[in-house]
Structure 1
Amino acid sequence: MPVKSHPSFKISTPSDLENVITRAFDARRELVFDCWTQPEHLRRWWGCRGAEMDVCDVDLRPGGAYRYTLRMPDGSECGFRGIYQEIMRPERLIHSFIFDPYPHMPAEITVTFAERDGVTTVTERTLHLTKEACDDHLHSRLDVGAAESFDRLAEHLDTLTC
């Protein structure tokens, strides 16, 4: 079933090793960047609908680590972690990404924040080590989870900009 989300939400696969998610938000890029990197904001939007972030540890500096743990509606937990490699507020963020059940399949994520006329377009590029890892990521309901998460971010931004 297709995901209904904001018209600007798109997922593409420019190569066998990467997927790219884009979405526009009606907010300044400094605010979007802060919502992407600060625990008090991340807890409000990161993850699919119905998920609650029980752990949100962020050491936002090159070499610093992050760790998120989501409690899903069925009570199960999902953990995510990584190391920040580059932080250029409010333009770009590069970090490793590991989904705890698959520690052997790390990825590198580059997030860019581009603003025009008060609208910020976020581009999240995930680079995998293998085609199989990229395919697994794409078939893990990435479309649903990312769309819901990005919609939740838009809703959170609305509460901050009204």
Structure 2
Amino acid sequence: MFETTIEADQRLPVIWLVRDFAATPDKLFRAHTDPGLFVRWVGPDAMTTRIDHWEARRGGSWRYVSSENGAEYWFRGCFHEVRPDRIVQTFTYEAEPDGVALETLWFEDLGGGRTRLRTRSLVDSFEGRDAWLRSGMEVGVNEGYAKLERMFLDGTV
């Protein structure tokens, strides 16, 4: 298992995530664009996720809800670019509609069936970035990626 690195850029309101996976770029890309796979790994272990709509294509949009103990957390965004080596999308937590992030995900082939995922999330302010970092996002990121890694290992993806 690999660890996720989460770093705040000191010059810009950006969060960087980096993680290596024991999977090919094609499999990692598929796990991020296939809604049936995405709902199985995204977010903390204690939550379940349901897709409202999902169009993983340039100009498409997405919306999903994550639930825990009756509480619902809605997220939405638009896909600006969807290609095997990169996804560019917006990301909004609907309870904070002014906090739109622009995310870019890169799928870097490391060879030997391994891929490095690099994600850059540009938020609207340093305060917004720091609030994301204080929100406990690392729990959802780490638990979600651990689920995804298990899906690669058991052949689900």
Coarse TM-score class (shorter-chain normalised): over 0.9
Mapped contact 1:62–1:84 kept (Cα < 8 A): yes
Percentage identity across paired residues of the two chains: 26
1:115 matched residue in structure 2: 109
Give the drift of 1:57.
2.2
Provide closer, same or farther for how the CA distance between residues 57 and 157 of structure 1 changes in structure 2, counting only shifts above 3 A: farther
1:94-136 deviation digits (Å, cap 9, x = unpaired): 0000001100110101001011121011111100111111111
Mapped contact 1:42–1:56 kept (Cα < 8 A): no
Provide closer, same or farther for how the CA distance between residues 39 and 107 of structure 1 changes in structure 2, counting only shifts above 3 A: same
- Give the ranges of 4+ consecutive aligned residues of structure 1 lying more than 3 Å apart after TM superposition: none
- TM-score, normalization: structure 2? 0.93
Unmatched runs of 5 consecutive residues or more in structure 2: none
The one-letter code of the counterpart of 1:92 is R
2:35 matches 1:39: yes
SS in structure 2 of the partner of residue 103 of structure 1: coil
Which of residues 83, 97, 101 is equivalent to 1:103? Answer: 97
Matched residue count: 155
- TM-score, normalization: structure 1? 0.90
Alignment of 1:1-162 (within 5 A): 6-15=1-10, 16-72=12-68, 74-89=69-84, 91-117=85-111, 118-160=113-155
- What is the root-mean-square deviation of aligned Cα atoms in Å? 1.5
**Aligned partners of 2:80, 2:101: CA distance in 1, in Å?**
12
The one-letter code of the counterpart of 1:9 is T
Mapped contact 2:35–2:54 kept (Cα < 8 A): yes
Mapped contact 1:110–1:126 kept (Cα < 8 A): yes
1:3 matched residue in structure 2: none
**Aligned partners of 2:63, 2:156: CA distance in 1, in Å?**
27
**Aligned partners of 1:135, 1:25: CA distance in 2, in Å?**
27
The one-letter code of the counterpart of 2:101 is A
SS in structure 1 of the partner of residue 155 of structure 2: helix
**Aligned partners of 1:70, 1:59: CA distance in 2, in Å?**
18
